[in-house]
Amino acid sequence: GAVVSQHPSRVICKSGTSVKIECRSLDFQATTMFWYRQFPKQSLMLMATSNEGSKATYEQGVEKDKFLINHASLTLSTLTVTSAHPEDSSFYICSARVADTNIQGKWKTQYFGPGTRLLVL
Amino acid sequence: RKEVEQDPGPFNVPEGATVAFNCTYSNSASQSFFWYRQDCRKEPKLLMSVYSSGNEDGRFTAQLNRASQYISLLIRDSKLSDSATYLCVVNVYGGSQGNLIFGKGTKLSVKP
């Protein structure tokens, strides 16, 4: 249980295009999902917190108009990198936090998706 | 000072060795602490939570010293499959794994 999927796993795009990444919790509900970015040999950095039914909360230095987040349901959050540039090339990882108090021992535990590698040419 | 600091390594050890990783955190209001494991080009996976009293899970032992703001992970009887990057992770907002701050990780390579 507690599986999180991301799609696509890898994407290569031209500079200036937009890329959408999906994060799904497959067997649990997640009112909160988190989007991270990891550059080579660097730590994971939280970009934003995605809240179901409301606006995302962005970390300082992350442009909300460039990284659009939508959390339309309890199992899906999307991150759209708009007008991507080569410096946006990175490993994007989402995580989903268990919302259901009935899942014994797992409430509020955060599970990570497998990540999406974005390469902008 | 970085929020979570770790020795990047690499730690190169033979199978069967005991190896210890250390981590320091800067925010004294940090509430919960974890060790994650990240394999090359993969997502991080929770290895274990770290409790004030110290806790053990098989070959893995974690310790927390709040006064010194220091966390450790001890791996006994290293296996080849233990080769990975170990991430020290701190939650500064309270609750269970709310908003996580990741260290850069310590790379471990276990050799035959």
- The answer to whether residue A11 scores a pLDDT higher than 90 is yes
The pLDDT tens digits of the residues spanning B26-76 come to 988 888 899 999 998 899 998 998 988 889 999 999 999 999 999 999 999
Q: In chain A, what percentage of residues exceed pLDDT 90?
A: 62
Type of residue at B108: L
Chain-centroid distance, C-alpha A6: 8
Neighbours of A23 (CB within 10 A): 28
Query: How much is the pLDDT for B96?
Result: 46
- In the numeric block, the tokens 């199978």 are attached to B15
Closest approach of B48 to chain A, Cα-based (Å): 12
The pLDDT tens digits of the residues spanning B95-105 come to 444 578 889 99
Query: How much is the pLDDT for A97?
Result: 82
- The answer to whether residue B107 scores a pLDDT higher than 60 is yes
In terms of C-beta density within 10 A (0-12 exposed, 13-18 middle, 19 or more buried), how is residue A85 classed? exposed
Select the more confidently predicted residue: A21 or B102.
Answer: A21
Set of chain A residues whose Cβ sits within 8 Å of the Cβ of B105: 43
Q: What is the mean pLDDT of chain A?
A: 89
Q: Do A41 and B102 touch (CB under 8 A)?
A: no
Residue A2 CA to residue A102 CA, distance in Å, equals 13
- The answer to whether residue A29 scores a pLDDT higher than 90 is no
Q: Do B43 and A113 touch (CB under 8 A)?
A: yes
A114 Cβ contact list (under 8 Å, min separation 6): A4, A5, A6, A9, A93, B42, B43
Neighbours of A90 (CB within 10 A): 21
Q: Do A110 and B97 touch (CB under 8 A)?
A: yes
Question: Which string of DSSP letters, residue by residue, matches A61-82?
Answer: T--TTTEEEEEEETTEEEEEE-
Whether residue B48 contacts residue B33, with contact meaning beta carbons closer than 8 Å, is answered with no
Strand A116-120 with A10-13, pairing: parallel
- The answer to whether residue A107 scores a pLDDT higher than 60 is no
Neighbours of B50 (CB within 10 A): 23
Residue A8 CA to residue A23 CA, distance in Å, equals 9
Q: Chain B: which residues have CB within 8 Å of chain A?
A: 4, 41-46, 87, 95-105
The pLDDT tens digits of the residues spanning A51-105 come to 888 889 999 899 999 999 999 888 999 999 999 999 999 999 999 887 655 555 5
